[in-house]
Structure 1
Amino acid sequence: MDWSRHPSIQRAADLLWSGEIIAYPTEAVWGLGCSPFDEQAVYKLLALKKRDYEKGMILVAADVEQFADYLRPLTPEQQQTLRASWPGPNTWIVPDIDNQIPEWIKGQYSGVALRVSAHPLVAGLCRAFGGPIVSTSANPQGKSPALHQWKVRQYFGDSVAMVTPGAVGAQAKPTQIRDLVTGQVVRAS
């Protein structure tokens, strides 16, 4: 199924462009997303989660090409490392050499966390939106991530503009986060 053409996913993409927050299934948990280009939407999402902006946010994309502008300044070896691990459960902190990513996404960091999702619905959502979106687990800070739609609704009620159809993938834990420059694991999977 091409999720990018699904009416619910097209509606979700329109909501993202309107500055709304949506919930959608990822490889392991339900996620919350918004447009990374909309500062107010990002701060609204952070307030909803009770998450400090300094922690930074992950951007998720349908394919490597959606990150092309951010990857261009990287070395060929760094680009190859990313391409070899995507799509898949690998989030990389990538240096923002040309300072393209706003601080409301990077938080206190000089790099940005990027992932190309292997989940077909997430990829379809990013294609329908036309680029990467913010992706963070659907839970208030300190609570367990939502594994089901009903848990998203329990946590956030009507504060989320839409909960898409679909189900989480078979991955047991959220993605590993590694620093592209050092190779250091920042969050184990």
Structure 2
Amino acid sequence: MNKTLQAGSVAHAVAVLKKEEVIAYPTEAVFGVGCDPDSELAVSRLLALKKRPVEKGLILIAANYEQLKPYIDDSMLTPAQRETIFSAWPGPVTFVFPAKPSTPRWLTGRFDSLAVRVTDHPLVVELCLAFGKPLVSTSANLTGLPPCRTTEDVLAQFGEDFPVAAGETGGRQNPSEIRDALTGERFRQG
């Protein structure tokens, strides 16, 4: 039986997330796979699924800046740095912030920082608001395969039973740009 989460069934997606499971959902450019950032079990499942080493760290995607504050230390930002960040959000730009000391290593990996994004994708905003916090977000693809751009791509790579919040991506061709919140240095072109 296909467990595709129909559009509008955000409550079902939240129920899956609360069971410490991984879901797929559309983002600005590609489908992402995500889970509860506060659950080491859920993040371990996501890392195993992606065959991704924990040392690489992960991205959090949120409905608003408030959802990110428990994980990042924004006290080091100047007003000008804040203005630069907020001028890009909500949108497809990921910023790397200093992480709070309490932020789990299963999110930061080998870094003392954390990559975060306030999305403008309506389905993801709705999902994060309903879940009450950000989601871990990494591209939905198995190692060596291209990122999924449709629900069908996700089911082909991850199996017919994989829970997918069905919807359309934002239509962007490139993944989100990644920049350093403090220096503005660009790590990945968007």
TM-score scaled by structure 2?
A: 0.90
Structure 1 segments of 4+ aligned residues over 6 angstroms from their partners: none
**2:88 pairs with 1:85:** yes
Contact in 1 for aligned 2:74/2:97 (Cα 8 Å)? no
Counterpart of 2:75 (choices 73, 76, 79) is 73
Matched position secondary structure for 2:138: strand
Percent identity (aligned): 44
**2:98 pairs with 1:95:** yes
Aligned to 2:136: 134
Matched position secondary structure for 1:73: helix
Contact in 2 for aligned 1:8/1:165 (Cα 8 Å)? no
Contact in 2 for aligned 1:71/1:79 (Cα 8 Å)? no
RMSD: 1.6
Aligned to 1:14: 15
Q: How does 1:1-189 map to 2 (within 5 A)?
A: 7-69=8-70, 70-77=72-79, 78-96=81-99, 98-157=100-159, 160=162, 162-189=163-190
Q: CA–CA distance in 1 between the matches of 2:179 and 2:77?
A: 17
TM-score scaled by structure 1?
A: 0.90
**Long gaps (5+) in structure 2:** 1-6
**Long gaps (5+) in structure 1:** 1-5
Contact in 1 for aligned 2:74/2:98 (Cα 8 Å)? no
Q: CA–CA distance in 2 between the matches of 1:32 and 1:43?
A: 13
Q: CA deviation at 1:185?
A: 1.2
Pick the structure with more helix per residue. 1
Q: CA–CA distance in 2 between the matches of 1:139 and 1:126?
A: 21
Q: CA–CA distance in 1 between the matches of 2:39 and 2:160?
A: 20
Identify which range, 64-73 or 108-117, moves more after superposition.
64-73
Q: CA deviation at 1:158?
A: 5.2
Amino acid at match of 2:135: I
Q: CA deviation at 1:7?
A: 5.0
Q: CA–CA distance in 1 between the matches of 2:73 and 2:111?
A: 17
